């Protein structure tokens, strides 16, 4: 499929989706005609997920329903293959801290080696979300911490049911 400069991929594990993810998705949706939110089906780097692919897609669908140009799909291939198959010209990711930058720089170079025609676009985390991570939210939920301002209501409820002690 020929790349279309109006289509981008926003990939992630989204286990669980946080307001930080939703901020990046919302901002990216204003930049592209179509934003495909790619949900990693079998994460390599992070091991198994707390929520199934179907659950993560349902959380994202519920949280992005107000954005008409969002398509949510699972994928189990190389990110650039997924992007190319969807006709995307760009991969959009959020950056919170220096550690994100170091990892994403390496991923960018590997992606560019595989697919020089697909650009990477990075959005800096909004200050109010720059400290939120899925792993941090899961840890808070495990020990009864406040997570209601970090994730959508349904996600918070499911996290408490699954992880609460």
Between CA 26 and CA 47 the distance in angstroms is: 27
Using alpha carbons only, what angle is made at residue 94 by residues 90 and 98, rounded to the nearest 5 degrees?
Answer: 120
Distance, in Å, from the CA atom of 12 to the CA atom of 106, rounded to the nearest integer, reads: 16
pLDDT, tens digit, for every residue of 122-136? Answer: 999 999 999 999 999
Hey, how many other C-beta atoms are within 10 angstroms of the C-beta on 65? 9
pLDDT tens per residue across span 107-119: 999 999 999 999 9
Domain assignment present for residue 105? The answer is yes
Query: Residues 6 or more apart from 38 whose CB is under 8 A from it?
Result: 9, 10, 11, 12, 73, 74, 75, 79, 82
Q: Domain for residue 78, yes or no?
A: yes
Q: Is it the case that residue 145 has pLDDT exceeding 80?
A: yes
| Residue 37 domain flag | yes
Q: Is 146 contained in some domain?
A: no
In sequence order, which residues have a C-beta less than 8 Å from that of residue 123 and are 6 or more positions away?
A: 24, 27, 28, 92, 93, 94, 95
Residue 3 has pLDDT above 60, yes or no: no
Q: What range defines the domain where residue 105 resides?
A: 4-127
Q: Which residue has the higher pLDDT, 75 or 3?
A: 75
Any domain includes 140? no
Q: Is the pLDDT of residue 1 over 90?
A: no
Q: Is residue 79 part of a domain?
A: yes
Domains: count for the chain? 1
pLDDT of residue 43: 65
For residues 78-93, give the mean pLDDT. Answer: 96
Structure confidence at residue 4 (pLDDT): 57
CA 23 to CA 94: how far, in whole Å? 9
Q: Does 8 map to a domain? A: yes
Residue 149 lies in a domain: no
- What pLDDT, on the 0 to 100 scale, is given for residue 87? 95
Nearest in space to 91 (alpha carbons), one of 118, 126, 57: 118
Quote the tokens at residue 154: 């349904």
Average of per-residue pLDDT values in the chain: 93
CATH of the domain at 119: 3.40.50.620
Q: pLDDT band at 16, cuts 50/70/90?
A: very high
What are the structure tokens assigned to 160, written together? Answer: 């408490």
Asked whether the beta carbons of 36 and 86 are under 8 A apart, the reply is: yes
């Amino acid at each position: 499929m020929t790349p279309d400069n109006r289509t981008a991929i926003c990939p992630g594990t989204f286990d669980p989706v946080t307001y930080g993810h939703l901020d990046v998705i919302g901002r990216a949706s204003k930049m592209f005609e179509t934003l495909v939110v790619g949900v990693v089906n079998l994460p390599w780097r992070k091991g198994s997920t707390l929520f199934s692919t179907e659950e993560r897609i349902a959380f994202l669908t519920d949280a992005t329903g107000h954005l008409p140009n969002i398509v949510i799909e699972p994928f189990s291939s190389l990110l650039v293959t997924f992007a190319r198959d969807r006709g995307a010209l760009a991969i959009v990711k959020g950056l919170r801290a220096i550690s994100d930058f170091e990892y994403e720089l390496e991923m960018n170079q590997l992606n560019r080696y595989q697919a020089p025609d697909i650009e990477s676009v990075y959005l800096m985390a909004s200050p109010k979300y720059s400290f939120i991570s899925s792993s941090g939210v899961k840890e808070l939920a495990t020990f009864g911490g406040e997570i209601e301002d970090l994730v959508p209501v349904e996600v918070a409820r499911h996290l408490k049911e699954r992880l609460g002690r």
